[in-house]
Structure 1
Amino acid sequence: MSKNKRVTLLFNANKGYDRKIIQGVAKYIRGGVDWQLFIEEDLVTRLDRLSNWHGDGIIADLDDPQVVEFVQKKGITTVGVGGSYRDEQEYPTNMPYIATNNDLIAKTAVEYYLNLGYKNLAFYGMPKNNHNRWAFEREQSFMHWAKVLSNGKANTYYFRGNAIHSRSWALAQQKLAVWLGSLPNPTAILCATDMRARQVLEACHLAELKVPNDIAVMGVDDDEIIRDITGNTLSTIIQGTENMGYLAAATLDKAMKGETINPLINMVDPKGIVESASTDYLAVTDEVVNKAVAYIKQHACEGIQAIHVLNHLGLSRANVENRFKQHLSSSIHQEITNVQLGQVRKLLQTTEKTLAQISQETGYKTAQYMMMVFKKRYKMTPSEYRKQVTVDAFS
C-alpha cells in the first residue's frame, strides 16, 4: 500500500468534466491509499503557485498545453487525462494517459440521430487552437461517422463559433443564431460540451427556432449544473469521467511504486445517453411510422411483438415494414429491440437489480433470452457491460 505520498490534481472544478474526474480519484483514495492530496481551496489550478511544490505524483488535465509544459518541466511522476486522438503522436511521450473515447462519443451521437430518421447532422464545436484539440477530434469523428453510417446520404454541417466571455457573448450568440437559421429543418446537432449545447438552446430561442422540432440538440458531459440551468431539458452523452479519474489514480499508485505501466494509453468509453426533451423528436414525415414508433416507445418493455404494432395501426405487415425500411433503415422488430435494450442498459448502469428483475421489467420472457439478445448487439454480456460502466470495474 502506498505510504504518505504527496499528490496534486491539476484540474478546474468549474467544469463538470473535471469535477467527475476528481470524484473518481476520490473514490480510489477512499479505497485505502495513504496520500496527502493537495488541491487549491477554490478547486482551480494555478500553475504559478505550484512552481516550488515538491511531491510524489500528479494527475493532470493534459488537454491544456500549459499543464503539459508544466508537468514535463516538473519531472514528477504524472498520469495524464484528456481526449483521445486518431494520431498516436498527439499523445504525451512516455507518460501514462487516460483518454475519453472521442471517436465513440461521436459515433454514439450519429447512431442515435440516424435511428431517429435525421438526414441533416451538424456539429457545434470550439475555435480551433491548441487548447481545443479534443474538440476538433470530436468534430472530425462526427463528420466521419455521419458519412459512413448513413452511406454518404446524410448532409453534414459544422460551426466552431467563438470563445465565450462577457464581452463577446451577445455577438457570439447572434452569429450562432445566424448559423442555426441557415440549417435545413430538421437538423440534429451534437455540441462539443453541455455548455456549448446550452448556447445552442439560447440561440434557437433568439432565432425563433423550435427545439427539437426544427433543431435537435445534444451535449456531452452530463453536467448537473447545466442540466439545472436548462430545466433538465438537455439530452447529453455521459462520458466515463469518474471511471477515468479512478483509473488515473490507480495508474498513478502503480507508477509511484515503480511498477511498469502497460499499455501507456487507456481508452474509456462513454456510458450512454441521457435522453431528454431537446432530442425528443422523430424526424420522419410518415405519420404511420411516427404513430408506430410512439406506440413502440410506450409498450416495448411490456413484451409486445410486431403483430401488436400492426394491430394498433390496422395495416398490413408489408406496408408498415416497407415504411420502416424507407424512413428508418430498420424494422418493427428492430425498433422494439432498440427500446428494450436501451432500457436494459439504463437499468444496468443506474440500479443493482438482478438480470432476472431487469428482464422482467423490459419485456423479456427469460433472463437467458435477454442475455443472448444483449450479447449479440453489444458483443458482451449484461454483466460484463455493468462492470465496464461502473467505477468498481477498476477496483
Structure 2
Amino acid sequence: MQYRPKQVALVLETRFQEANQLIDGIAAFNRAHERWQLFVDSGERSTLDSEPLTQGTWNGVILGRHLPGFLARAAAQKLPCVEVADDPRRFDGVPKVRPDNLAIGRKAADHLLRQGFPSYGFCGFSNEHWSLQRRTGFVSRLKQSGKTCQIIETAFPANGPSHWSLDEEELLTAWVSRCPRPVAIFCCNDYRAAMLLGACGRAGLMVPTDVAILGTNNNPHICGLGPTPLSSVSLDLEHIGQIAAGVLLDLMGGKPPARSDQLVFSGEVIPRESSSIDALGDAQVSAAMQLIREQATQGLRIDQICQHAHLSRSSLERRFRRLLGHSPQDMLRNEQLHHARCLLIQTDKKLPEIAEACGFEHPEHFCVVFKRITGMTPTGYRRQMKSASSP
C-alpha cells in the first residue's frame, strides 16, 4: 500500500513576520520528527470552506487566530486543532500555545533596569490583551526594584482611519515631552516603538540620550527602518511553532495535551542603539556602569569602580546622580539582585549559596538588602514566582 503522508493545514497570515517565524518552527519540527505534508493558508480561506473538514482532507490544523465558528465545525469532525493565537480566549478541547507576555514584560524591565535609567515608561495599546499583560509584567518588575512607571495606552483600531497614526504620533509627542528625562520606555511591540521614535524626533528629544526605547518582536524591517536602530525583545516564535507542532502530533496520536493553555517565552533582548548606555555622553560613567554589569557579583567595591573610571568617589556619585538619578551603589545593588532573582527562580540553590554567588559575604546581609529593595524576603519571592509560573 502506498504511503500517504498526513495533511496538516497551517492557517497563518504570512503577511505578518510573526506567522512566518511560527511556520519556520513548525517546519523544523516536521523535518526532525515527522513527514507531514504542510499546507499554508495565508488568507484563512479554508476556515470559510467546510469541504476540507467534511471530506477528511486534513489530519490536523494549526490556527493563528481564535475562530470559534471554524473550531466548532472542526470539533464536530473530530479534527485535531492547536491554536497559536496570542489571545486568552479558548475553545473547549483545543489547546493553545502562545507567548508568556508577563515574562516578556519582566525581561524588558530587567534589561532597562540593568542599564541604570532613573525613570521608566510604558507605551502600549489599551484594547490588546497581550499588550496589557506585557505592561503588567513590566510594571511589577519595576515595582520590585522601587521604580514607578509613566504609562500611555490608547486603543488600536483594526480598521481605523488613515490619519490615525498621525493623530497618535501627536498624542505620543505630547506625552513623551512630559516624561522626566532621561527615561527608558518599553513599547508593547516594534510598531509602537517606531511610532515613539518618530514622536521623539518631533519633540526634539534625542534617542537614547533623552529617551531610551525598547520594542518587542525584533522585526528587522521595523527595527532598522528609522534613524536610530531599535532594541527589541525577541519572542523566539520558532520555538513556539515547534512546541505547537509537538502538541498537534500528540493530538493526532490520541494523546491529550498536558496543558490546555501553554505559555512560552525563551527569547532575549536584542540590544541596539535605541537603548545603549554608551549614548549617555559621559565616557567615564559608561565605563563605570559597564564594570558594574560585568563584576557586580564578584565582590566589586565602590573604590574599585572609582579607580576604573578615573574619578573620585564624590565626582562619580555626582555624575551618576546627574545623569541617572541614582548612585553607583544603587546600580551595584540592583545588578546583584537581578542575578539573585534569576537564581531564586531558575535553581534550587540555598540562600547562602545564592548570597555568595551574588557577591555578598554574609547571607543575613543579603536577605536584609533583598527585602529592603524588593519588599519581600528571598524565600517569599521564590515562592511567589514559582507559584505564578506553575500550570
CA displacement at 1:333 relative to structure 2: 11
Q: Which amino acid in structure 1 is aligned with residue 131 of structure 2?
A: A
CA displacement at 1:161 relative to structure 2: 5.1
Question: What SS does structure 2 have at the residue aligned with 1:229?
Answer: coil
CA distance in 1, matches of 2:185, 2:92: 34
Q: Which amino acid in structure 1 is aligned with residue 98 of structure 2?
A: A
Aligned twin of 2:8: 7
Aligned twin of 2:207: 211
Query: Contact 2:85–2:98 (CA<8 Å) still a contact in 1?
Result: yes
CA distance in 1, matches of 2:204, 2:315: 37
Deviations 1:144-163 (A, max 9, x none): 3322x233x42432322543
Quick check: 1:279 aligned with 2:278? Answer: no
Within a 5 Å distance, the mapping from 1:64-103 to structure 2 comes to: 64-65=65-66, 67-75=67-75, 76-83=79-86, 90-103=89-102
- Distance change in 2, residues 1:283/1:110 (3 Å): farther
Aligned twin of 1:238: 234
For residue 192 of structure 2, the aligned residue among 183, 196, 204 is 196
Query: Contact 2:134–2:188 (CA<8 Å) still a contact in 1?
Result: yes
Question: What SS does structure 2 have at the residue aligned with 1:205?
Answer: helix
- Distance change in 2, residues 1:53/1:229 (3 Å): farther
Question: What SS does structure 1 have at the residue aligned with 2:52?
Answer: coil
Question: What SS does structure 2 have at the residue aligned with 1:254?
Answer: helix
Within a 5 Å distance, the mapping from 1:350-361 to structure 2 comes to: none
Query: Contact 2:7–2:38 (CA<8 Å) still a contact in 1?
Result: yes
- Distance change in 2, residues 1:268/1:181 (3 Å): same
Query: Contact 1:222–1:238 (CA<8 Å) still a contact in 2?
Result: yes
Aligned twin of 1:351: none
CA distance in 1, matches of 2:168, 2:107: 28
Within a 5 Å distance, the mapping from 1:30-45 to structure 2 comes to: 30-40=31-41, 43-45=42-44
Aligned twin of 1:25: 26
Question: What SS does structure 1 have at the residue aligned with 2:184?
Answer: strand
Aligned twin of 1:159: 153
CA displacement at 1:188 relative to structure 2: 1.6
CA displacement at 1:82 relative to structure 2: 3.5
- Distance change in 2, residues 1:181/1:22 (3 Å): same
Q: Which amino acid in structure 1 is aligned with residue 63 of structure 2?
A: A
Deviations 1:200-225 (A, max 9, x none): 11222122221112221111111122
TM-score by length of structure 2 reads: 0.71
Quick check: 1:104 aligned with 2:103? Answer: yes
Within a 5 Å distance, the mapping from 1:322-361 to structure 2 comes to: 326=327, 329-331=330-332, 334=335
Q: Which amino acid in structure 2 is aligned with residue 115 of structure 1?
A: R
CA distance in 1, matches of 2:165, 2:132: 22
- Distance change in 2, residues 1:165/1:202 (3 Å): farther
Report how many residues are paired.
327
For residue 60 of structure 2, the aligned residue among 57, 60, 66 is 57
For residue 150 of structure 1, the aligned residue among 133, 145, 148 is 145
CA displacement at 1:136 relative to structure 2: 2.0
Q: Which amino acid in structure 2 is aligned with residue 7 of structure 1?
A: V
Q: Unaligned stretches of 5+ in structure 2? A: 343-355, 361-391
CA distance in 1, matches of 2:329, 2:279: 9
Question: What SS does structure 2 have at the residue aligned with 1:166?
Answer: coil
- Distance change in 2, residues 1:232/1:201 (3 Å): closer
Aligned twin of 2:250: 254
CA distance in 1, matches of 2:12, 2:134: 21
Aligned twin of 1:177: 173
Q: Which amino acid in structure 2 is aligned with residue 111 of structure 1?
A: D
Deviations 1:222-265 (A, max 9, x none): 11222332367110011121110001011101110112221333
Aligned twin of 1:386: none
CA distance in 1, matches of 2:149, 2:6: 53
Q: Which amino acid in structure 2 is aligned with residue 70 of structure 1?
A: F
CA distance in 2, matches of 1:221, 1:329: 31
Query: Contact 1:233–1:276 (CA<8 Å) still a contact in 2?
Result: yes
Larger Rg computed on CA atoms: 2
- Distance change in 2, residues 1:232/1:223 (3 Å): farther
Question: What SS does structure 2 have at the residue aligned with 1:13?
Answer: coil
- Distance change in 2, residues 1:304/1:227 (3 Å): farther
Query: Contact 1:188–1:217 (CA<8 Å) still a contact in 2?
Result: yes
- Distance change in 2, residues 1:316/1:168 (3 Å): closer
Question: What SS does structure 2 have at the residue aligned with 1:330?
Answer: helix
Question: What SS does structure 1 have at the residue aligned with 2:84?
Answer: strand
Query: Contact 1:47–1:70 (CA<8 Å) still a contact in 2?
Result: no
CA distance in 1, matches of 2:179, 2:154: 15
Aligned twin of 1:347: none
- Distance change in 2, residues 1:68/1:125 (3 Å): farther
Q: Unaligned stretches of 5+ in structure 1? A: 342-371, 377-395
Question: What SS does structure 1 have at the residue aligned with 2:94?
Answer: coil
Question: What SS does structure 1 have at the residue aligned with 2:125?
Answer: coil
- Distance change in 2, residues 1:118/1:283 (3 Å): farther
CA distance in 2, matches of 1:20, 1:281: 30
Question: What SS does structure 1 have at the residue aligned with 2:250?
Answer: helix
Q: Which amino acid in structure 2 is aligned with residue 244 of structure 1?
A: I
CA distance in 2, matches of 1:252, 1:15: 22
Deviations 1:338-372 (A, max 9, x none): 8xx9xxxxxxxxxxxxxxxxxxxxxxxxxxxxxx9
Question: What SS does structure 2 have at the residue aligned with 1:246?
Answer: helix
Q: Which amino acid in structure 1 is aligned with residue 153 of structure 2?
A: F
Q: Which amino acid in structure 2 is aligned with residue 57 of structure 1?
A: G
Question: What SS does structure 2 have at the residue aligned with 1:123?
Answer: strand
